[in-house]
A = this chain, B = another copy of it.
Amino acid sequence: MKGLMMHRPLKIADIITFAADTYPSSEIVSVRTEGDIHRTTYKETSARISKLAHGLRKLGIGEGDRVATLAWNGYRHFELYYAISGIGAVCHTINPRLSAEQMIYIVNHASDRLLFTDVTFLPIIERLRPHFPDDLRVVIMTDRAHMPETPLDGALCYEEVLEGEASDFDWPDFPEDQAAGLCYTSGTTGNPKGTLYSHRSTVLHALSQCVTIPKTLQEGKRILPVVPLFHVNAWGLPYGAPLSGASLIFPGGALDGKSLFDLMDREKVYSAWGVPTVWLGLMNEINQRGRLPEGFGDIVVGGSAASRSLIEAFEKMGVNVCHAWGMTEMSPLGTQCNLPPEMADLPFEKRVDRKQSQGRRVFGVDMKIVDDEGRRLPHDGKTSGHLYVRGNTITEGYFEDPEATNQVFDKEGWFCTGDVAAIDPAGFLLITDRSKDLIKSGGEWISSLDLENIVMSHPGVANCAVIAVPDAKWDERPLLIVVPREDAQPQKEDLLGMLAERLAKWQVPDDVVFVDQLPLTATGKVSKLTLRKQYAEGGEA
A interface residues with partner B (beta carbon < 8 Å)? 1-8, 10, 14-15, 18, 21-25, 63-64, 90, 175, 177-180, 195-201, 204, 207-208, 210-211, 214-215, 217-220, 243-245, 331, 340-342, 360-361, 363-364, 390-399, 413, 415, 425-427
CA of A177 to CA of B176 in the docked complex: distance in angstroms? 14
Query: Taking the nearest CB of chain B, how far is it from the CB of A519, in angstroms?
Result: 31
Do A8 and B392 touch (CB < 8 A)? Answer: yes
Q: What residues of B have a CB within 8 angstroms of the CB of A218 in the complex?
A: 214-215
Do A243 and B211 touch (CB < 8 A)? Answer: yes
Do B214 and A21 touch (CB < 8 A)? Answer: no
Do A397 and B4 touch (CB < 8 A)? Answer: yes
**Known A2-B177, A5-B177, A217-B214: A24·B244 in contact at CB below 8 Å:** no
Query: Taking the nearest CB of chain B, how far is it from the CB of A108, in angstroms?
Result: 17
Q: What residues of B have a CB within 8 angstroms of the CB of A395 in the complex?
A: 4-6
Do A8 and B390 touch (CB < 8 A)? Answer: yes
Q: How many copies does the complex hold?
A: 2
Do B24 and A243 touch (CB < 8 A)? Answer: no
Query: Taking the nearest CB of chain B, how far is it from the CB of A11, in angstroms?
Result: 10
Q: Find A5's partner among B4, B8, B200, B217 (CB 8 Å cutoff).
A: B200
Do A392 and B6 touch (CB < 8 A)? Answer: yes
Chain B: which residue is nearest A23 at the CB level?
Answer: B340
Q: What residues of B have a CB within 8 angstroms of the CB of A217 in the complex?
A: 214
Chain B: which residue is nearest A400 at the CB level?
Answer: B4
Chain B: which residue is nearest A218 at the CB level?
Answer: B214
Query: Taking the nearest CB of chain B, how far is it from the CB of A541, in angstroms?
Result: 41
CA of A482 to CA of B8 in the docked complex: distance in angstroms? 44
Do B200 and A211 touch (CB < 8 A)? Answer: no
Q: What residues of B have a CB within 8 angstroms of the CB of A397 in the complex?
A: 4
Do B390 and A198 touch (CB < 8 A)? Answer: no
Q: What residues of B have a CB within 8 angstroms of the CB of A6 in the complex?
A: 390-392, 394-396, 413, 415
Do A201 and B3 touch (CB < 8 A)? Answer: yes
Q: Find A195's partner among B2, B4, B177 (CB 8 Å cutoff).
A: B4
Q: What residues of B have a CB within 8 angstroms of the CB of A175 in the complex?
A: 2
Q: What residues of B have a CB within 8 angstroms of the CB of A219 in the complex?
A: 340-341
Q: What residues of B have a CB within 8 angstroms of the CB of A207 in the complex?
A: 204, 207-208, 211, 363
List 5 A-B pairs, minimum CB-CB distance, nearest first. A3-B198, A220-B341, A1-B64, A214-B214, A5-B201
Q: What residues of B have a CB within 8 angstroms of the CB of A245 in the complex?
A: 340
Do A25 and B342 touch (CB < 8 A)? Answer: yes
Given A1-B179, A3-B199, 9 other A-B residues pairs in contact with their CB atoms under 8 A? A4-B179, A4-B396, A5-B200, A5-B331, A5-B394, A5-B395, A25-B342, A214-B218, A219-B340
23 sample A-B contacts, Cβ–Cβ < 8 Å, listed by A number: A1-B64, A3-B177, A3-B196, A3-B197, A3-B199, A4-B398, A4-B399, A5-B198, A5-B200, A5-B201, A6-B390, A6-B413, A6-B415, A7-B396, A8-B390, A18-B361, A25-B342, A207-B363, A210-B214, A214-B215, A214-B217, A219-B340, A220-B341
Do A198 and B2 touch (CB < 8 A)? Answer: yes
**Known A24-B425, A426-B24, A427-B21: A2·B178 in contact at CB below 8 Å:** yes
Do B8 and A391 touch (CB < 8 A)? Answer: yes
Query: Taking the nearest CB of chain B, how far is it from the CB of A154, in angstroms?
Result: 26
Chain B: which residue is nearest A63 at the CB level?
Answer: B1
